[in-house]
Amino acid sequence: MKDYIALAAKGDHEWWRYLVGAFLIFIIWQAGTIPFIGVVSYKLAMEGRDLSSLSNYETLMGTLDSNLTFFLMLLSFAIGFLGIWLIVKFFHNQKFKDVLTTRVKFDWKRVLLGFSIVGFFIAVMTIIDFVLNPDDFLWNLKWDQFLILAAIGIIMVPIQTTFEEIYFRGYLMQGLGIVFRNRWLPLIATSVGFGLLHLGNPEVTKLGYVIMISYIGTGFLLGVMALMDEGLELSIGFHAGNNLITALLVTADWTAFQTESILIYTAEPSIGFDVLIPVLIIYPIYLLIMAKVYNWKNWKSRLFGKVELL
């Protein structure tokens, strides 16, 4: 099987290109927040409110209709997706497919499997929690708002999650692997970096830094998927399933996505050993399922081996 990281050697892969490219992609991505900030600023101005409140997360989330807020938040990732395509194609002269997979064609069946595994688990666990603890939830289903949410989510959430997968498990993982000629350092760096990306999330403010175990652990899970499967299809599907099903099923006033979901979690959150259960138990089960389906072998060399350039 081809080495996914080594595919980057087919394009222009000097170390400085990845340094500059990663920075430019980030800037383009952040520029994508301008429409959101602009619309919120306009609304605040029309209401005669102080624009300095833009620095307040609750103001940003609560000024506009929740579906419009959801769309504008995700729009930045669509712009970031365009940015990463431009950088890969014109700055690195690399085929965009080569930042996605070693396979001849992008494997949509793998995407569906990754999506289904996590989507089914989240749906089942949410239903069980709702049945056992109904007082912790508010039934929020309003069909007119939910259908708009579903339309936005089905289109925009996969763009958001695919951008993040290509940026971290694709572009940065390939770049670090090419520069340092190994697979373990890109796995660690991109997983920790992915976790740190979520430091600004309201969940961290509410639950504390211990929640970073979950974010970084998820980064490792997605990174292992990419390296063992020599492509991003499984991680793209998994990430999309996690974010989309969660956004549709349940939200809370302290989560990054505050949507017109079916349920609103109203209980005061607490966190303890349960943050370790997904990372130490559920995630390994996911990997074992995928390893069985796709006959993964040579774990040591695929996760810790050297990168031999093409």
Q: What is the pLDDT of residues 80-121, one digit of tens each?
A: 999 999 999 999 999 999 999 999 999 999 999 999 999 999
CA distance 49 to 231: 48
- Whether residue 160 contacts residue 77, with contact meaning beta carbons closer than 8 Å, is answered with yes
pLDDT at 105: 95
Going by C-beta distance under 8 Å and a sequence separation of 6 or more, which residues neighbour residue 39? 64, 68, 72
* pLDDT score of 178 more than 80: yes
Q: Where are the domains of the chain?
A: 5-304
CA distance 144 to 267: 26
CA distance 223 to 76: 23
- 288: exposed, middle or buried (Cβ count in 10 Å: 0-12, 13-18, 19+): exposed
Q: What is the pLDDT of residues 275-285, one digit of tens each?
A: 888 999 999 99
CA distance 113 to 130: 26
- Whether residue 307 contacts residue 183, with contact meaning beta carbons closer than 8 Å, is answered with yes
Going by C-beta distance under 8 Å and a sequence separation of 6 or more, which residues neighbour residue 52? none
pLDDT at 1: 61
Average pLDDT over residues 127-131: 95
Q: What is the pLDDT of residues 189-233, one digit of tens each?
A: 999 999 999 998 888 888 889 999 999 999 999 999 999 999 999
- Whether residue 256 contacts residue 203, with contact meaning beta carbons closer than 8 Å, is answered with yes
Q: What is the CA radius of gyration of the chain?
A: 20
pTM, entire model = 0.95
